[in-house]
Amino acid sequence: MRKRNYILTLVDYGYKVEAWDDYDNYVCVYEKTREAASEFIMNWWEMSERNKNSAMTTGKAMLEMIELDKKYGINRGNRDGLD
């Protein structure tokens, strides 16, 4: 389910851009032209998607490292395996 949404509001000096991504993150910026506002929204949504995928990959890698630590007994006797 997509939650992407945006609001463009005409102001004295250009456009107020309010945008939400699929993960309910919010951003508000001001752009001089409607084209610049549209470009900002598309770029922000694309960046948001890349960041989410990166965070998911990092989280998965961390879980795999924890499992390896348990398998080889690295964290036995000390909580985090760093001692």
Residue whose C-alpha is closest to residue 41's, from 8, 13, 81: 8
| Domain limits, the chain | 5-71
Say if pTM beats, i.e. exceeds, 0.75.
no
Q: What is residue 43's predicted lDDT score, i.e. its pLDDT?
A: 93
Q: What is residue 3's predicted lDDT score, i.e. its pLDDT?
A: 85
Q: Report the C-alpha gap between 17 and 10 in whole angstroms.
A: 9
Q: Report the C-alpha gap between 39 and 16 in whole angstroms.
A: 13
Q: Report the C-alpha gap between 66 and 75 in whole angstroms.
A: 9
At 48-81, the pLDDT tens digits run 888 776 666 677 777 777 787 777 777 666 665 5
Q: What is residue 38's predicted lDDT score, i.e. its pLDDT?
A: 94
